[in-house]
Structures are given as structure tokens and as C-alpha cells.
Amino acid sequence: MKTSKAERCGGYTITELSVVMGIIALVGGAAATDYVKRMPYHRMNKAIDQITSDLRLARMEAISENREVSVLFDSANSAYAVWKDSDEDGRVDKDELETKTFDDGSGIKMITHPDRGVFSPDGMFRTQNAFCYVAIFTDLQSSSLVLSPNGHVAPTRHSAVNKDPVVKPEPEIADPVPDTGIKYLPAN
């Protein structure tokens, strides 16, 4: 029994393979574009999670080690440091200071007010103001966290920064007292 050529050769035609490869390329391109667009958002989340975690750890260390733990913020360099004076000499020694920075080329910047505070052994946070505010931002979005006097670290996540806000013209308000041309009548 003779078989035809089509029956002997199994597989896909070049056209079918080209169509499948084209579909894979389209889906892959769309996924890569979405990944690139979301990268700043993921970096921002990582930064806010990192500083929140470090500040909560500093508070826990102050409580568990029964000593003050200082937090110093350097907005100019987008950095912060946690200082535990382990030898209690009041001076910053090299092994007592743990510095973290966001200046890794990701475009993340930080602004704080005030620039320092102390977690006390009872877990409270002391600073020159009642609260400490930390804003972390990029060109596209911002996040912030608040250190309250009770030591609570509260991060917030904000939506994207609107670089080109739409300015809507104010609606024209009709004159509340239209001029009817009627003059006041003298009293009798």
C-alpha cells in the first residue's frame, strides 16, 4: 500500500509556525512593556517597605534591649541611619551606625521633617515635633510614612503624581441680583 507524501511527513507547515511565533512575540512584547511601565511603582513599594521595616525593627530593638535607638534622616542623599549607642559613650562609633540609602540610580528621593528622632525603651518616639514625616517620591509617584509619638510607623501609598494637572476654567456665575432697571421708590 502506497502512502501519499502528506501522510508520510508529520508536523506543522512554515505558515503555522510563523503565525504561532507572531502571537508569542505580540504577547511577549505587551508583557515587557507593562513590566517596564510598572518598574518605578515596584521600586517605590520596595523603598517604603524597606524604611518601614527598618524603623519598626529599630523600635523593637529599643524595647528589647532597653536602650534608646536613634534614627537620622539625610534628605540630601536620600539616606537614613539607625544608631544604637551600644557602648553608651554618646559618640557614633563605626559599628554602631547602620546606614541605608535609596540613591541607587532608581530616581527615588526622600524628604523628612524633622531629620532625626529617638525610639525610647518604652517604644515611644521622641522628636522636636510631635510627629516625624517621611516622604519618598520619584517623578511619577510618591509615598509617605508617619512616625507618631507612640512609636507607631504608618506607611501610606499614594497614587501617581499628576505632572500635567488639568486646569478647568471656573464656571461663570450669574449675577445674583440682576439689574431690572427698577429704582427704589421713596417711602410715603
User: Could you tell me which residues are beta bridge partners of residue 125?
Assistant: 119
Bridge partners (DSSP) of residue 82 are 71, 98
- Identify the pLDDT of residue 43: 80
pLDDT of residue 36: 73
pLDDT of residue 120: 92
CA geometry: angle 122, 154, 111, nearest 5 deg: 105
In the three-class reduction of DSSP (H, G, I as helix; E, B as strand; rest coil), residue 114 is classed as: coil
Q: How much is the pLDDT for 56?
A: 93
Would the pLDDT of 7 be above 70? no
Measured distance CA(41)–CA(45) in Å, rounded: 6
Q: Which CATH architecture has domain 14-160?
A: 3-Layer(bab) Sandwich (3.55)
Helix (H, G, I), strand (E, B) or coil at 74: strand
Is the backbone peptide bond immediately before 114 cis, with ω within 30 degrees of 0?
yes
- Backbone dihedral region of 88: left (phi > 0), alpha (psi from -120 to 50 degrees) or beta? left
Give the C-alpha separation, 47 to 105, whole Å. 13
pLDDT of residue 173: 46
Paired strand residues for 160? 141
For the segment 44-81, what is each residue's pLDDT rounded down to a tens digit?
888 888 899 999 999 999 999 998 999 988 888 888 88
Q: What is the pLDDT of residue 12?
A: 84
pLDDT of residue 160: 56
pLDDT tens digits for 97-148? 788 887 666 778 888 888 889 999 999 999 988 888 888 887 777 888 898 9
Could you tell me the residue ranges of all domains in the chain?
14-160
Global confidence as pTM: 0.65
